[in-house]
Amino acid sequence: MGLEQVSGAKAFGGIQGVYRHASRETGTDMTFSVYVPPHEDGARLPVVWYLSGLTCTHANVTEKGEFRAACAQLGLIFVAPDTSPRGEGVADDPDGAWDFGLGAGFYVDAAQAPYAAHYRMWSYVTEELPTLIGAHFPADMDRQSIMGHSMGGHGALTIGLNHPDRYRAVSAFAPIVAPSQVPWGQKALSGYLGDDHAAWRRHDAVALIEDGARVPALLVDQGEADGFLERELRPDLLRAACAAAGIPLELRLQPGYDHSYYFISTFMADHLRWHADRLR
């Protein structure tokens, strides 16, 4: 698989790169970023996946996430994919809405036209891109974890719950925990997957837990001043599901914090330390 380096810069002794490749899953060029911390020759390092939220690309966390110092200290590779396919011929929301289509792939493999042709973010993130990372970077693919924000928090939770043997740690910032029950999720799941609500459950963290999916523990940070908290995010539903299932959930409600990268960057190092403890 060919890989083009778009940019690279030294940071905290490691290299922050941005890369592009032709994706077989999406049928488009895809761009992602990777931070590789300083390491000894021949070392294989654990990988933390970060999935971004609505309207974002790889660039939002790369530029604003403030993860590099912690990753350099902890010896973690940090991978940030894009949130959807892009380019000529890729379908967007017909009304130009910001919460569906480009930048809003919701980490599913679409089954509905016209989105099924390119919107295969589930397979891209869980299969194609890990193969690429393992082939081109000093990554120990037996030590992976996953985190994300908002729509990406939804993706991290659902991917982690569907692959508990692959990801040793799962955490999220302000995740959409029950997309089947909130407007953002209902719009995305119906638009990409159609009316098959059984298919929706595989992409709903609360439903997955209700159906028997388990992980050893979850860490979630949520800003109490987040304008999307009560309508779209509903961490109370995740708390109830985890309590019923016996999944240890550390749900930290952070007074005064909103939905932005000021919030994410404040608690990023905490999450990376939590991941590192489980990746050793």
Question: Which positions are annotated as active-site residues?
Answer: 150, 226, 259
Q: Are 14 and 36 in contact (CB under 8 A)?
A: yes
Rounded Cα gap, residues 269 and 78, in angstroms:
12
Q: How many CB atoms lie within 10 A of CB 43?
A: 11
**Overall size of the chain counted in residues:** 280
Q: Tell me which DSSP letter residue 213 carries.
A: -
Query: Would you say 23 and 121 are in contact if contact means Cβ atoms under 8 Å apart?
Result: no
Distance from C-alpha of 217 to C-alpha of 146, rounded to nearest angstrom: 12
DSSP for 87-124 reads STT----TT--TTSBTTB-TTSB--STTGGGT-BHHHI
Strands of the 249-254 sheet, one edge to the other: 4-11, 14-22, 29-36, 77-80, 45-51, 139-149, 167-173, 218-223, 249-254
Measure Cα distances from 75 to 48, 51, 53, 89, 217 in Å: 10, 20, 25, 40, 22
Cis peptide bond N-terminal to 248, omega within 30: no
Cα distances from 212 to residues 4, 24, 241, 243, 265, in angstroms, run: 41, 32, 10, 13, 33
